Structure 1
Amino acid sequence: MIKQFVVPVVKDDSIDAMVTLTLSLEADPSITDRFYAIEPKLRDRFLQVLFDHANSGGFDGVFTESGNLDILRKSLLEVARKDLGDNVTEVLIMSVNRQDV
């Protein structure tokens, strides 16, 4: 279950950069149908986590530092487990790219 997300980084009321992430869920294959049934809701929740991360400065500076990405992974996993339970074991960040405007 791999999905791409685009997140604006806003500074002084304008877009300073765009961050593109590809996320994957490590999960029990038995939840595949349930995942696709709630995918729009899950994407919305993931985007809110990503927006909050961007707004708190999570994509500034050395944003790929492992501790910073661990915080993001944990927040995304909490959201995934709200709908899919403990069948989701991990959220993997497959790629991350920041493009300054």
Structure 2
Amino acid sequence: MIKKLLPIILALIGTGAGVGAGLFLMPPPAEEHAEGAIECIPPVEDPEHAAPPEETVDEGPPVGREYVKLNNQFVVPVMRKDAVVALVVASLSVEVSSGTTETVYAREPKLRDEFLQVLFDHANIGGFEGTFTNGDRMDVLREGLLDAARSVLGSDVSDVLITEIARQDT
């Protein structure tokens, strides 16, 4: 009798644990509505008379801009109680005015130093703990990196792109 019930009990426990984990790990809603706000719902279109979807083509950087990928990845230790508990590896690119690629490469050592300081500061305040890819945390990091890039390259920099980021726990 127990041999027949055991698989059913295990399946129910596993399903319950999966649902519970899904609810617990679900990200917060992307947008909060103000109390009393009315949500506008677009009208439903008739599929027979709907316009065909527009094709989007990635045309690269905006006119007058170019992307400069920094040569090496950035490795940032995540510390806890004077011990390294993880390493974060990130690849960065800088969006600059056209024709300034050589300036970026000429100033890359200083730029890397500034970026590393921002990344270390971010790690020290717990920015790489938990869900470190959360939009708010990434926005804070991007702003810090952009400020650092502008301190080295001036107004030629319009954005810093985090093209890859990964955390490896030790």
TM-score, L = length of structure 2: 0.58
The gaps in structure 1 that reach 5 residues or longer are: none
- What residue number does 1:29 align with? 98
Q: Determine which of 144, 148, 153 is the counterpart of 1:79.
A: 148
Structure with greater proportional helix content: 1
- What residue number does 2:123 align with? 54
Deviations 1:52-81 (A, max 9, x none): 000000000110001100000000000101
Q: How many residues align?
A: 101
- What residue number does 1:2 align with? 69
Q: Which amino acid in 2 is paired with 1:7?
A: V
Q: How far 1:15 moved relative to its partner?
A: 0.3
Following TM superposition, where does structure 1 have runs of at least 4 consecutive aligned residues deviating by more than 4 angstroms?
none
RMSD (Å) for aligned C-alpha atoms: 0.8
Contact 1:22 1:95 in 2 (8 A): yes
The gaps in structure 2 that reach 5 residues or longer are: 1-67
TM-score, L = length of structure 1: 0.95
- What residue number does 1:68 align with? 137
Contact 2:76 2:123 in 1 (8 A): yes
Structure with greater proportional strand content: 1
Contact 1:31 1:84 in 2 (8 A): no
Which gives a bigger RCO, structure 1 or 2 (Cα 8 Å, sep 6+)? Answer: 1
What SS does the aligned partner of 2:129 have?
coil
